[in-house]
Structure 1
Amino acid sequence: MARKITVQNNFYYLTLALVVLLVSSSLELVLRVGWLDLVLQLITTTTFIICLMSLRFDSGWYRFLMTLLVLWVIMAVIKNVFGFYQTDIFMLILMFSFFFGTFKSIARQILLTGSIDTNKVVGSLALFLLLGLMWAIAYLFILEFSPNAFTGMEHKAWGENFANAAYFSFVTLTTLGYGDISPVSPVAQVIVYLEAIAGVFYMAIVVASLVGAASQTNQDKNDE
């Protein structure tokens, strides 16, 4: 990379990687070619690596996330080389665990702690994207066991369905609710309304955290 990832700019790289992952997942819906499932796996792996590089300053979580990345690569190799598509469930579990660990690491660094700067504001956006991604993975996991859990979203390999799940997740997280994809099974309905609650709650927490940190920063400057 042209610039070194530091504690002052790490969330810029991490957020950009998450955005690229989301944008690239939509290519499967546009181009409709099978090999894009493999491309999405490679982009996901790259996203994980950038997340690791951005969070290496948090040594405890770094080791945990590194372990998940190694397991993810092993599962991807088993799936693509040996054709064991049963690994999809394990890959989804690893993805959820990785994004959850990344979320907790970022939250520890920016929410209700220290002074506010542009890097932390961008980090709050990364937290929002990670929330949507975790719920998208939860929906994909539900589809693995209940193919008819949603209307407008059918059961496919997770790479082919990732864009639909992410779209529905962020529509729910922002409480837009267009209705083109809807939960049918009781479990899916519970997960969906919990995401809507989390989206509203997150906005309140982030606004309070950023405003409080900004006020504390201004007060510290005035006291100098």
Structure 2
Amino acid sequence: MNQRRINKQNNFYYMTGALVVLLLSASLAKSLMGGMLESLLEGVIAITFLVCVISLGVDKSWKRFMQVLIVIWLLTAISKRFVTIPHLDLFMLGLMFAFFWGTFSSIAKQVLFSGAVSGNQVVGSIALFLLLGLMWALVYLLILALSPNAFSGIEHSAWGQNFSQMAYFSFVTLTTLGYGDISPNTPFAQVAVYMEAIAGVFYMAIVVASLVSAGLAQKSTQQEG
């Protein structure tokens, strides 16, 4: 029973699973009508937040910060059902970005150049990649909200309606595939896009270097022992 609980040996499996479910839910929710789509997506995001906090419970430095962000985000999501406040969606996107950034920073400290390589750490590097793509998707949603003509191939609407498409565009850019069905029009959007492409290339190099160096150090330790 204890082996099924989230701990340092399996926490990234749960977190990566939650992030994959979030991405799948966002794409499947596109078939629902507006209000239902937004409610479903916000519910899945809230669950993802909780899984991330529980998974990172071993990192006390970020736990309280992310708990506060979750409470504020939930209060904001509930408030928008009853009152109309200008730029509330922008505030929610900003909170989501801050949460994912905190999660990314916490995982990076536990995965990159952290000693022995385990399956959990390899899965953690996948979680880092997913978080990187999600954070840039939020940046694109913020840009689109502030400048409706910033991207071609996507219509300006509520962030929940465009979340799946921007996540798709973000990961296509992060992996430098560049299909071209969605493209940036404004200089600021173009800068954000090529910066993500650069980050994607450097991330792969950093992760490979980290895992190789950690693996060599682990092998050397075993031989000396």
TM-score (norm 1): 0.97
Instruction: Give me the whole-angstrom Cα distance separating, in 1, the residues matched to 2:13 and 2:138.
Output: 23
Q: Which residue of 2 aligns with 1:197?
A: 198
Instruction: Give me the whole-angstrom Cα distance separating, in 1, the residues matched to 2:197 and 2:22.
Output: 22
The structure-2 alpha-carbon separation of the partners of 1:124 and 1:24, relative to structure 1 and needing over 3 Å to count, comes to same
Unaligned 5+ segments in structure 2 are: none
- Cα deviation, 1:78-103, whole Å, max 9, x if unaligned, reads 11233547310100000000000000
Q: Which residue of 1 aligns with 2:214?
A: 213
Q: Which residue of 1 aligns with 2:66?
A: 65
Matched residue type, 1:61: W
Matched residue type, 2:47: T
Q: Identity rate of aligned residues, in percent? A: 58
Q: Which stretch has the larger CA shift, 12-21 or 212-221?
A: 212-221
Matched residue type, 1:15: T
Instruction: Give me the whole-angstrom Cα distance separating, in 2, the residues matched to 1:33 and 1:96.
Output: 23
The structure-2 alpha-carbon separation of the partners of 1:34 and 1:77, relative to structure 1 and needing over 3 Å to count, comes to closer
Instruction: Give me the whole-angstrom Cα distance separating, in 1, the residues matched to 2:124 and 2:216.
Output: 19
Unaligned 5+ segments in structure 1 are: none
Runs of 4+ deviating beyond 6 Å: none
Instruction: Give me the whole-angstrom Cα distance separating, in 1, the residues matched to 2:33 and 2:173.
Output: 25
1:27–1:36 Cα contact (<8 Å) kept: no
Matched residue type, 1:151: S
Instruction: Give me the whole-angstrom Cα distance separating, in 2, the residues matched to 1:168 and 1:21.
Output: 16
RMSD, aligned CA: 1.4
> How many Å apart are 1:134 and its aligned residue?
0.2
Q: Which residue of 1 aligns with 2:25?
A: 24
> How many Å apart are 1:33 and its aligned residue?
4.9
- Cα deviation, 1:132-182, whole Å, max 9, x if unaligned, reads 000000000001110000001121111111000000000000000000000
Matched positions, count: 224
TM-score (norm 2): 0.96
Matched residue type, 1:140: L
Matched residue type, 1:172: T
1:150–1:184 Cα contact (<8 Å) kept: yes
Instruction: Give me the whole-angstrom Cα distance separating, in 1, the residues matched to 2:45 and 2:151.
Output: 25
Say whether 1:136 aligns with 2:107.
no
Say whether 1:36 aligns with 2:37.
yes
2:30–2:37 Cα contact (<8 Å) kept: no
